[in-house]
Amino acid sequence: MTFTASFLLASLLCFINSHAWIVPQETLVLPRQEATSNEIPSHVRSFWMKRALQALDELVSPCPYEAFGAVIVNHTTYLPDDIGDLICIGANAISTGNPTLHGEMAAINNCTAVLSDPDGHYKLSPAEIQKAWHQLTLYTTAEPCPMCSAAIRWAGFKECVYGTSAATLAANSWSLIDISSEEVFERSSNLKPSTRLISNIASNETDPYFQWQNDPYAECPGGCARKENTCSPTHAHGGT
């Protein structure tokens, strides 16, 4: 079945207003001015991808079935050795019954709640939050689906960085809508500002999180072990 890009983008006109996980406010910063994304070294990219994996353990489990974690980061810094600032985290929570609550959507909701909280530190207006997205980078453990890709473009993020590709997910028997994030980004080029798409960051670390679900012989992610046909944590974790 073919979906047009206009349908995909129109489907994201209204963002979900769901439960968000909040990062302590002392770790949050407002976007700062100007930085060239090309200056961000690979080890910094890998650091934040690992942080997105860590979000899974914090919010769900070290081996959740839907291992789609995300972090939103501020890279607009004046210091060349600054790795950036964590704004918020998110993890796939479709188990709540909300089929749209993917990791990227959870992270966007989280930041929206933090930045708009009338009793919080920032108290940003909707217009101010919309401008803030333009300076932020979203890291996600796997290539965004068409829904999340469209949300990222509607928000106007500065960058979207992912680990495991959709092709790798498909090779591991994940069911997908066959429209790549690259295609959604290309077909939404009329939306300003543009969003830079960066692929396959630390995929050697993210890929194993998506291999065990459909392969009973695949190794479990770290901190987990086989129990019947699934991977289960071997230690207590911070998820719910």
Q: What are the residue numbers of the active site?
A: 104
Query: In whole angstroms, what is the distance from residue 97 CA to residue 36 CA?
Result: 40
Query: In whole angstroms, what is the distance from residue 15 CA to residue 150 CA?
Result: 11
Tokens for 178, please give them: 């066959």
Q: Which of 37, 13, 46, 144 is nearest to 90 (CA)?
A: 144
Q: Residue 18 region, left (φ>0) first, then alpha (ψ -120 to 50), else beta?
A: beta
Query: In whole angstroms, what is the distance from residue 180 CA to residue 177 CA?
Result: 8
- In 54-198 the beta strands, taken as DSSP E runs, fall at 69-74, 85-91, 136-142, 159-164, 196-198
Q: Let me know: does 87 contact 72? Beta carbons within 8 Å.
A: yes
Q: Let me know: does 108 contact 18? Beta carbons within 8 Å.
A: no
- Torsion angles phi and psi, residue 71, rounded to 5: -135, 150
